Amino acid sequence: YRPGPLAYIPTYVDVKHGRKEIKYLTDELRKKLEEKGYSNEEIEEEGRKLIEDLGPILDITYGIAVYQEQLMFLVQYMAGFSLGEADLLRRGVGKKKKDVIEALKKEFIEKGEKFRNYKPETTDYIYTEMIMPAANYSFNKSHAACYAFIAYQTAYLKAHYRTEFLTSLMVSDEESMERVILEVAECESKGISVLPPSVNESLKHFTYIDDKNIRFGLKALKGIGDGPIDKIIEARKNLGRKFENLEEFIDLCGKEVINKKSLEALIWSGAMDDLGIRKQMVDSIDKMVRYSRRNEKQKETNQLGLFDGLEEFEEKLELVETKEYSYEEKLLKEKEILGIFVSGHPLDGLKTYCAKRSRNTKKMKMDFEKLLEIDKKENPEKYLPESSSQENSENPAKKEFKEEIVQTVGYITDYRKVVTKTGKPMGFLKCEGFDFDFEVVIFPKDIEKYAEKLDSNLVVIVTGGLDINFEYKRKSIRAKELKITSISMIREQARDLGIFDGSRRFINNELNAIKDEDESIGEEKIKNNSEKYSVLPENFDEKLEKEISENKGIEIQEFIVNIPPIAKKEDLFDFKDFLQKQEIGEIKIILDLRGQKKDTNISVKNLENLKNWIGEKWG
């Protein structure tokens, strides 16, 4: 739903089902008229005229102005607007021009008094409570009908053919990995597994398997083109069944598929897991290519060797004997090829471990609406309508939580360094926890201490102050203590401690009632096992509050880019590519898209190139 009409849905439903009556002379309007000293007869006359004028227009939508055409009729019936004048209102509403809509209000009140002898209070009320709110959401009827029909179709499909619908949705968005990641999470929340690609089941695009399973399409693999994909699907179709072994796959797919680049993509993504062990297949790629070439040559010359046809002399494909990759190695290569973890996540099996290594994380698991409610109760002074304090007069959405000390575990998905206005380096980590995502901020005083240890694809146990920023909907931890280790080491520690479980990571931002775990586990064991990676600050307890206080004053410059309505989806992708090519600096880039601000997580050194790009693209 669009935000505007949400408030009217309960009234619409109640009137439709007979629980309420349509009232154009509302209790609020009656009270306004009484306060102005109008007699009961005059007030009833206002009500009669409203029913007479508004009934034919609004009864069909249960007393609520829904369409632009209804607004046009309303100003004609109540104030005698001409068709041209009514169309001015329609255009103002259609273009969301509040100045035009506001300017017509005075004319509506004056003409309403002359045309139908309406009291100014009545026309002012109708315009303010009915026309102006509708200007925020109303479409013309034909537009609304199209939207409603599409909304009904998609809702029906999602309700009755959920897996097929989500498969199609991912196909339409497969060029945007950010969208695919969100849709994979949606599938998991509905009990639908999104499986890794498979040469035995995948089509070119995301593939519906059954009501509980969707396969990644082969086109999602980086490093493999349409030619090899089409050949695999054609060979499987001609065979009439799945490939039974590696030799059969090589024989039927031929040189279009059996080359180093394509095989690496297929094996690393897990698409060939049905046919062998990944490490064996990767180490045997050269053997597989030679085996394929020999078969191709024999087919081309149609010649039989001296021992061909004799099973005991038939050349076999023998793979290199080797140990399989670790869970960590598998996942990282899988993400490199697909852009997303599919067969698992680094924190899978670590729910208990993460809980026991966490402190005071309840607020990190809440959605921002719930957090705002809590903040209003805990810090009511920030939300006073007027205040002599400049701090209290600022937009409350920009305010942050009173700092609380938290500890949690996260998988580092991105690490970047920026330079502050004072020329000092800072670090930012984007992390995925077991059941929430967060950002870690490392201040200048500590960044050099951790810089050599930090990188993406590691695990961090962080302790520090919690910050909740409502404007950018961002949860971050101001780091004081970091313990940095690898996925494999964390999993080994969990097994040694007997707390490795069968859990799978799944994000749900509305886990409001989750109980915090305050139990600690083997601190000495963690310290010993992660000695290779860990950097432990001294005197943490004594210096923490002082450190947080010192770092609060650090600011990073921001530059807000207003995205115009004419911008297309392709423009945003081009803009992202442009930003990623710029020299990293101290100026954080924020997008303003129709009033919603979004942090790009990119900081640039200067704005000259950026301003030139914006001017050339959008003027």
Which CATH number characterizes residue 537's domain?
A: 2.40.50.140
Q: Are residues 252 and 366 both part of a single domain? A: no
Scanning 441-486, the segments in alpha helix (DSSP H) are 444-451
Domain boundary among 551, 580, 597: 551
Query: Is residue 485 helix, strand or coil?
Result: strand
Q: Are residues 420 and 540 both part of a single domain? A: yes
Q: Are residues 137 and 218 both part of a single domain? A: no
Q: Which residues are registered as beta bridge partners of 415?
A: 429
* CA 179 centroid distance within chain: 7
- What ranges make up the beta strands (E) of 190-327? 193-195, 207-210, 213-215
**CA dist 184 to 154, 190, 341, 505, Å?**
18, 10, 10, 13
Residue-level pLDDT at 551: 43
CB-based contact 408:402 (threshold 8 Å): no
Tokens of 8: 């009217």
Tokens of 435: 């059941």
- Residue 9 falls within a domain, yes or no? yes
**CA dist 438 to 366, 456, 544, Å?**
12, 14, 20
Report how far residue 373's alpha carbon sits from residue 443's, in angstroms, rounded to the nearest whole number. Answer: 30
- Residue 437 falls within a domain, yes or no? yes
Q: Number of structural domains, the chain? A: 4
Conformational region of residue 140, where left means phi above 0, alpha means psi within -120 to 50, and beta covers everything else: beta
- Residue 209 falls within a domain, yes or no? yes
Residue-level pLDDT at 244: 92
Residue-level pLDDT at 14: 93
Report how far residue 283's alpha carbon sits from residue 280's, in angstroms, rounded to the nearest whole number. Answer: 5
Q: Are residues 287 and 380 both part of a single domain? A: no
Conformational region of residue 341, where left means phi above 0, alpha means psi within -120 to 50, and beta covers everything else: beta
Report how far residue 409's alpha carbon sits from residue 402's, in angstroms, rounded to the nearest whole number. Answer: 22
Conformational region of residue 80, where left means phi above 0, alpha means psi within -120 to 50, and beta covers everything else: left
CB-based contact 484:533 (threshold 8 Å): yes
Q: Are residues 26 and 127 both part of a single domain? A: yes
- Predicted TM-score (pTM) above 0.75: no
Strand order across the beta sheet in which 207-210 lies? 193-195, 213-215, 207-210
**CA dist 541 to 403, 544, 545, 551, Å?**
15, 6, 8, 16
Task: Note the pLDDT tens digit of each residue in 400-447.
Answer: 445 688 999 999 988 888 888 888 888 899 999 888 889 999 988 888
Residue-level pLDDT at 302: 62
Q: Are residues 392 and 541 both part of a single domain? A: yes
- Residue 113 falls within a domain, yes or no? yes
Q: Are residues 278 and 397 both part of a single domain? A: no
Residue-level pLDDT at 385: 60
Q: Are residues 111 and 210 both part of a single domain? A: no
* CA 559 centroid distance within chain: 22
Residue-level pLDDT at 602: 79
Q: Are residues 486 and 566 both part of a single domain? A: no
Residue-level pLDDT at 372: 84
Q: Are residues 125 and 256 both part of a single domain? A: no
Tokens of 78: 């109540």
> What backbone phi and psi angles, to 5 degrees, belong to 440?
-115, 130
DSSP state, residue 197: P
Residue-level pLDDT at 69: 92
Residues of the chain with pLDDT under 50: 1, 306-307, 310-313, 387-394, 396-401, 508-556
> What backbone phi and psi angles, to 5 degrees, belong to 36?
-85, -5
Tokens of 463: 């302790």
- Residue 310 falls within a domain, yes or no? no
Range of the domain at 489: 351-551
- Residue 149 falls within a domain, yes or no? no
Domain boundary among 500, 530, 551: 551
How many residues appear in the chain?
Answer: 619
- Residue 94 falls within a domain, yes or no? yes
Q: Are residues 371 and 249 both part of a single domain? A: no
Residue-level pLDDT at 52: 94
CB-based contact 215:201 (threshold 8 Å): yes
- Residue 219 falls within a domain, yes or no? yes
Tokens of 560: 């807000």
Tokens of 524: 């000495």
Q: Are residues 175 and 279 both part of a single domain? A: yes
Q: Is 484 exposed, middle or buried (0-12, 13-18, 19+ CB in 10 A)?
A: buried
